[in-house]
Structure 1
Amino acid sequence: MRPTLDVAARHKVPVFVHPVAHPNAEALLKGAGNLGNSLGRGLLNGVAFLSVIKSSLLDDLPDLHLVFATLGLGAIVQAARGGIYDRAERAIGRRPNIYFDTRGHDPDIIHTLTGSFGAERVLAGTDWPILAAPQRRGVCDRAWRRPG
Structure 2
Amino acid sequence: MSTAPTVDVHAHVLLPEVEALVAGLPGLAEAKALDARRNGPAALAVSGSMVRERVPELTDPAVRLAAMDAQGVDVQLVSPSPSHYHYWADEETAEQVYRLANEATAAHCSAAPDRLRGLGLVPLQHPGHTVRALDHALDQGLLGVELSSHAPGRELSDPAYAPLWTRAEETGALVFLHPFGCTLDERLDRWYLSNTVGQPVENAVALSHLIFSGVLDRHPGLRLIAAHGGGYLPTHIGRSDHAWSARSDAGAGCAHPPSSYLKRLYFDSLVHDPHVLRELVRTAGADRVLLGSDFPFDMGTEDPVGALRASGLADADFHAVRGGNAAALLRKN
Normalised by the shorter chain, which TM-score bucket?
A: 0.7 to 0.9
What is the one-letter code of the residue matched to 1:21? G
Instruction: Verify the 8 A CA contact 2:181 2:194 in the aligned structure 1.
Output: no
CA deviation after TM superposition for structure 1 residue 26, in Å:
5.2
User: Identity of counterpart residues, as a percentage?
Assistant: 30
Is 2:235–2:276's contact at 8 Å kept on the other side of the alignment?
no
- Give the one of 310, 323, 328 matched to 1:142: 310
Structure 2, gaps ≥5 residues long: 1-160, 242-256, 314-333
Tell me the distance in 2 between the aligned counterparts of 1:84 and 1:46: 12
Q: Any gaps of 5 or more consecutive residues in structure 1? A: 87-93
Find the counterpart in structure 1 of residue 215 from structure 2.
57
8 A Cα contact 1:44 1:72, kept in partner: no
- The one-letter amino acid paired with 1:143 is S
Q: Name 1:85's counterpart in structure 2.
A: 259
Q: What is the match of residue 164 of structure 2?
A: 4
**RMSD between aligned alpha carbons?**
2.6
- 2:292 is the counterpart of 1:125: yes
Residue 175 of structure 2 corresponds to 15
Q: Residue 8 of structure 1 contacts residue 64 of structure 1 at CA under 8 Å; is this kept in 2?
A: yes
- Relative to the length of structure 1, the TM-score reads 0.75
C-alpha change, 1:80 and 1:114, in structure 2 (3 Å) is farther
User: What secondary structure does 1:58 align onto?
Assistant: helix
Q: Residues 17 and 69 of structure 1 are in contact (CA less than 8 Å); yes or no, is this contact kept in structure 2?
A: yes
Name which of structure 1's ranges 68-77 and 47-56 shifts more when overlaid on structure 2. 68-77
Q: Which residue of 1 aligns with 2:274?
A: 107
* Count of aligned residue pairs for this structure pair: 135
Residue number in structure 2 paired with 1:74? 232
Cα drift, residue 103 of structure 1? 2.4
1:116 aligns with 2:283: yes
Displacement of 1:73 in angstroms is: 3.1
Cα distance, 1:27–1:85 mapped onto 2, change above 3 Å = closer
Q: CA deviation at 1:109?
A: 1.7
Select the residue among 192, 196, 205 that pairs with 1:38. 196
- Bigger Rg over Cα: 2
Shift of the alpha carbon at 1:133? 4.2
Alpha-carbon distance between aligned partners in 2 of 1:19 and 1:110, rounded to the nearest angstrom: 20
Whether contact under 8 Å (2:262, 2:284) holds in the other structure is no
Query: Is the Cα–Cα contact under 8 Å of residues 62 and 96 in structure 1 kept in the other structure?
Result: no
**1:67-116, Cα deviation, whole Å (9 max, x unpaired):** 11236532222225632426xxxxxxx86530111225531121110111
Task: Give the 4+ runs in structure 1 shifted more than 4 A.
Answer: 24-27
Aligned counterparts of 2:283 and 2:229: Cα–Cα separation in 1:
16
AA matched with 1:18? H
